[in-house]
Structure 1
Amino acid sequence: MNEYDFTDPLTFLALTGLMFLMVVFRYTLVAGIFYVIFYIIDPKSFRNRKVHKPTKDKKQYRREILWSTLTSLFFAVAGAGMVVLWQKGYTAIYEDVNDYGWWWLPVSFLIAALIHETYYYWLHRWMHKPQVYRLIHKVHHDSHITSPWTSFSFHPGEGILQSVIIPVVILFLPMHYWTIVTLLTFMTLTSAINHSNVEIYPKGFHKHWLGKWMIGATHHSLHHTQYRFNFGLYFTFWDKWMNTESDKYPKDFERHTNSSNS
């Protein structure tokens, strides 16, 4: 960490460029795998699990990839900023697992994910206020029928708002750097799952002790069609507590998982 001074403008620019390549690679890899499997290699096997008939609008895919690439730039700047804060000793990031013990790795991951969930839920509801929605959130909802490429398809304003939470969390929550990487990968993976337009979870999962708290494609697709429900990111608990979970969700989930290929 002390080998380079990341506050140097050129070094920071190089770090941001590296972060950008990493974020774009992760997004392209995860979204690409889902898209290739669900829509190219074996679309028939997932036909009954598709939440909506997939869009044939190639312009939408190109637009989603363009917005997602721009969002990746903001995520990269945030990531580079985290490294600078870490180097200067302003964060709670640590390198030796033994500093907090192995048990703290999953606990810190869960705490960070719950903080992120809470931040996103209330941010998301705020972005659905009419004036804010038209200004920054409409870009994401232009994808009425989502695809894996929709994952990071945000207006720059929304991209910035979404990029700031993890840098804030690491200021006070002790996290091993590999836990942070795992959380960011989890974010990319779940975003691709939720926007894939294919329900990957098994029959009855929405009633399972774990599954009833997890968001999937059926749950999030209802947000893109109903707008006023299902605001969560990873988990359903805020939607349940605030009575913003769509009452269509159980029936829709059962319909998409009751086919013979489920």
Structure 2
Amino acid sequence: MRGVGEEIKSRTADHVPPQKQNKTPVSRSRSKSSLLVHLSFSLSPISRMAEASTEYLKLFVAETTWYNEIVLGSIVPGDAWRRLPHFFQSWLRNFLGGTLVYFLSGFLWCLVIYYWKRNVYVPKEAIPTNHAMYLQIIVAMKAMPWYSALPSISEYMIESGWTRSFATIGEVGWPMYFVNLAVYLVIVEFGIYWMHRELHDIKPLYKWLHATHHIYNKQNTLSPFAGLAFHPLDGILQAVPHVLALFIVPCHFTTHVAAIFCEAVWTANIHDCIHGKVWPVMGAGYHTIHHTTYRHNYGHYTVWMDWMFGTLRDPEEDEHLKKS
């Protein structure tokens, strides 16, 4: 430590004019050297923490890079996509992956309920026409590039360390993982309920955004393909709670990515008009009522938010009222 101080003193002396050298107190020079040495040691833990944080964030980047390799490497011919910036690779992967999930879930659902189990789940007169489903696909595919931006942005924020996401379940353990997941889903459910409700209650939002989705207001106009047939901004707004939750509760990164993509499957399910009668799930029976009354059943996964805020309407009670 003395050698460092003497070196700093000698360097300082070399840069001080000769006439002022004798006027500088020795104690001041020693104090300055001690401060520099102290700072060099006190900053090193901060530097190490920053380095560790950077290394940790690389885990998220490595995971999204792996997703890109799997999806783009399997679908996109050639290697041109590898020259894209990482963010645009992720957007392209989300776009292609989302499109694939949308069509697979939609076609499989339609194959089962409209053809394989024809007249079992849905009466013949309630089956939507191929033209109606084609129009729903057009609306959804126009919005898909914009939908794909939201998970890409959320991944970027996670990779940048702006959220409370964690990379592996082992960091928190399985009990806390499920606690965090439950809180995450409650936040998402609450957020989607109120976002959806405000898209109805605020008239300009309904007129310019949500009305695009509500042209499907009868059983024979609803199909699994209507699940993503929204105005692009409408679809994004209803998915925003998934992103906001990342800033509130610790969330496993892979689980968040999976939850976003499961939305395509879930929205296909709740637009097939089949009442599954699985309490407290907000299934298609509840959501069909929403498309016909416009004032009930705004919830997403469960009936709880509608029950809490007085907007729940049960499909069986509704059917009983129609018959009476």
Q: How high is the TM-score relative to the length of structure 2?
A: 0.67
Q: What is the aligned partner in structure 1 of residue 28 from structure 2?
A: none
CA distance in 1 between counterparts of 2:307 and 2:270 reads 18
Q: What is the aligned partner in structure 1 of residue 189 from structure 2?
A: 117
Match of 1:217 among 273, 284, 293: 284
Is 1:148 matched with 2:224?
yes
How much has 1:196 moved relative to structure 2?
0.8
Is 1:44 matched with 2:44?
no
Q: What is the aligned partner in structure 1 of residue 36 from structure 2?
A: none
Q: Which has the higher contact order (CA 8 A, sep 6+)?
A: 1
CA distance in 2 between counterparts of 1:97 and 1:253 reads 45
Question: Number of aligned pairs?
Answer: 240
Change (3 A) 1:215 1:66: same
Q: What is the aligned partner in structure 2 of residue 55 from structure 1?
A: 128
Higher helix share: 2
Q: Which amino acid aligns with 1:218?
A: G
Q: What is the aligned partner in structure 2 of residue 250 from structure 1?
A: 316
Match of 1:181 among 251, 254, 257: 257
How much has 1:168 moved relative to structure 2?
2.0
Runs of 4+ in structure 1 over 6 Å off? none
**Bigger radius of gyration among the two:** 2
CA distance in 2 between counterparts of 1:197 and 1:11 reads 40
Change (3 A) 1:74 1:107: farther
Q: Which amino acid aligns with 1:39?
A: Y
Aligned CA-pair RMSD: 2.6
Change (3 A) 1:106 1:74: farther
Q: Which sections of structure 2, spanning at least 5 residues, go unmatched? A: 1-57, 66-82
CA distance in 2 between counterparts of 1:251 and 1:40 reads 29
CA contact (8 A) 1:121 1:232 kept: yes
Q: Which sections of structure 1, spanning at least 5 residues, go unmatched? A: 206-210, 256-262
CA contact (8 A) 2:275 2:286 kept: no
Q: Secondary structure at the match of 1:45?
A: coil
Match of 1:23 among 91, 98, 115: 98
CA distance in 2 between counterparts of 1:167 and 1:46 reads 35
CA contact (8 A) 1:218 1:252 kept: no
